[in-house]
């Protein structure tokens, strides 16, 4: 039971107060409750957090005993495992024994690399920490690559005595032959980089950090091989053979091989090639002379026609005229073209068409006057006396066309014929077996003498023979 105590300082508000003279009473303070112990709770929380952390780590760590290419990555995160694989490869050391002079190169020196990310990701996927059945697997095999240029540089620096430099192929112009010739490349010698890579692969896979290797030598190819020089020399010689300024397929301004060669410079290009350059200023000096060789007036065509305008023969073909166009960029364009290996420069030209002049030809024979007229464009170009058929073998009147030519032949020489005349020259048939021809057996021209043909002196017959065409119109009348 709680005791009551007297305290004069207690105010009147206490219950059952008796008045001002009465003693005051108050409850004695209660004793504090003992504090509850939370030790078990804190121990429980810590254990729970550890369990959660362990569970979480089992989701991001690789199973113990896992190795990638001989590098242990168990209980590491994938990121840390990738770093471990790359660092091990970079620090793996090869010592070149024997003639290598104990030179030392590391994986980092050789530019070595593996696909660590893919391998670690595969290891993590197949062997996570949480899967106890996947612990302690066999080591995954890695394919090691090296940078050939970096490896060669490192090996050459470590063992320069094992290297003989190759000699590049070259090109030179031979003055005597007037052509470019190629000088062959020569192989060098150096450490076989593939064998070094294989040794690094074996050491890395087996977990060794250092391995000795007796270097083996292999051929070192020239940067510029022979075939590149030969191909470029062929290209240059083609330029020399074809160089010039062209209109279509016509080389109107040839450029001699000596001049073309003087324009060209051959130097080293990228990746073991050759670079061709041309002297634009030297080409420019030739440009002002081009117009005189290119410009020409058109030449009209001349044709033989009948009275209807049908073409019977071309006397002379027409030739298109041409005028050189703008030459402001010719030198720069030709220089660029030569640099690409093409020596045929097409000039800009404007063409002018030719006209066609027609000559209408026809023959008229006046039996009354025994005269033959040769007409051109309705004008008599020539006339001469002839001998037509006799009364009992008359020359047929009418309109005909020449249809065949025979330079020499026999006439009437068959059984039962009224006559036989051999070697009659310059025969042009216009109506069946009636023809114009030469006659050597008489000179009575201007009078009927023949068996129906129209004959004339031999020289005149030759001139007519050459003037006529198949289709020439012939009018025989009295």
Q: What pLDDT band is residue 235 in, cutting at 50, 70 and 90?
A: very high
Span(s) in the chain for CATH 2.40.440.10? 360-477
pLDDT of 54 over the 60 cut: no
Residue 17 has a pLDDT of 38
Of residues 117 and 194, more confidently modeled: 194
Nearest to 160 by CA among 97, 223, 100, 95: 100
For residue 107, count other CB atoms closer than 10 A to its CB. Answer: 23
List every span in the chain annotated with CATH 3.10.20: 228-352
Of residues 119 and 235, which shows the higher confidence score? Answer: 235
Which whole number is the average pLDDT over 192-198? 95
Q: Which of 165, 169, 187 minimizes the C-alpha distance to 226?
A: 169
| Position 23 pLDDT exceeds 90 | no
Span 263-310, pLDDT tens digits: 999 999 999 999 999 999 999 999 999 999 999 999 999 999 999 999
- In eight-state DSSP terms, residue 440 is S
- What pLDDT digit, counting tens, does each position of 145-177 carry? 899 999 999 999 999 999 999 999 999 999 999
| DSSP summary character for residue 193 | H
404, two tokens = 């065949």
Interatomic CA distance for residues 266 and 180, integer angstroms? 10
As given in the structure block, the two tokens for residue 309 are: 């305008």
The overall average pLDDT reported for the chain is 86
How large is the average pLDDT for residues 174-187? Answer: 95
CATH class of 360-477: mainly beta
Least confident of 53-62, 85-94, 156-165, 329-338: 53-62
What per-residue confidence (pLDDT) applies to 180?
Answer: 97
Alpha helix (H) ranges present in 243-329? 257-263, 280-284, 290-294
Out of 3.10.20, 3.90.820, 3.40.50, 2.60.40, select the CATH number for domain 228-352: 3.10.20
The pTM assigned to this predicted structure is: 0.57
Q: Name the pLDDT band for 451 (thresholds 50, 70, 90).
A: very high
């Amino acid at each position: 039971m709680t005791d009551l105590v007297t305290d004069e300082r207690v105010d009147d508000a206490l219950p059952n107060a008796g008045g001002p003279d009465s003693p005051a009473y108050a409850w004695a303070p209660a004793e504090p409750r003992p504090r509850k112990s939370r030790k078990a709770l804190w121990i429980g929380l810590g254990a729970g957090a550890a369990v959660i952390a362990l569970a979480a780590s089992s989701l991001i760590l690789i199973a113990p005993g896992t190795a990638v290419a001989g590098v242990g990555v168990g209980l590491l995160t994938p990121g840390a495992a990738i770093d471990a694989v790359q660092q091990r490869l970079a620090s793996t050391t090869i010592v070149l024994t024997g003639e290598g002079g104990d030179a030392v190169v590391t994986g980092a020196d050789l530019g070595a690399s593996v696909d660590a990310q893919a391998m670690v990701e595969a290891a993590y996927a197949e062997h996570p920490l949480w899967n106890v059945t996947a612990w302690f697997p066999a080591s995954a095999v890695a394919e090691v690559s090296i940078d050939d240029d970096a490896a060669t540089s490192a090996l050459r620096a470590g063992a320069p005595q094992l290297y003989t430099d190759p000699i590049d192929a070259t090109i030179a112009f031979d003055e005597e032959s007037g052509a470019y010739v190629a000088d062959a490349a020569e192989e060098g010698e150096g450490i076989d980089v593939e064998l070094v890579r294989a040794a690094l692969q074996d050491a890395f896979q087996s977990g060794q950090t250092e391995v000795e290797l007796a270097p083996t030598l292999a051929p070192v190819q020239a940067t510029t091989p022979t075939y590149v020089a030969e191909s470029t020399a062929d290209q240059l010689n083609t330029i020399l053979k074809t160089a010039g300024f062209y209109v279509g397929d016509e080389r109107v301004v040839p450029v001699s091989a000596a001049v073309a060669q003087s324009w060209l410079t051959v130097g080293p290009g990228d990746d073991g090639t050759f670079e061709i350059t041309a002297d634009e200023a030297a080409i420019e000096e030739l440009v002002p002379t081009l117009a005189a060789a290119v410009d020409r007036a058109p030449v009209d065509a001349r044709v033989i026609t009948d009275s209807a305008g049908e073409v019977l023969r071309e006397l002379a073909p027409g030739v298109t005229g041409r005028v050189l166009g703008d030459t402001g960029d010719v030198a720069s364009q030709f220089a660029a073209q030569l640099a690409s290996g093409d020596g045929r420069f097409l000039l800009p030209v404007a063409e002018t068409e030719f006209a066609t002049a027609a000559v209408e030809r026809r023959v008229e024979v006046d039996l009354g006057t025994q005269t033959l007229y040769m007409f051109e464009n309705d004008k008599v170009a020539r006339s001469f006396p002839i001998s037509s058929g006799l009364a009992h073998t008359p020359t047929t009147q009418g309109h005909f066309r020449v249809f065949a030519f025979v330079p020499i032949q026999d006439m009437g020489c068959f059984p039962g014929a009224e006559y036989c005349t051999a070697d009659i020259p310059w025969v042009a048939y216009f109506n069946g077996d009636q023809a114009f021809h030469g006659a050597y057996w008489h000179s009575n021209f201007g009078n009927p003498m023949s068996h129906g043909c129209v004959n004339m002196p031999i020289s005149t017959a030759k001139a007519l023979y050459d003037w006529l065409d198949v289709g020439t119109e012939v009018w025989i009348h009295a």
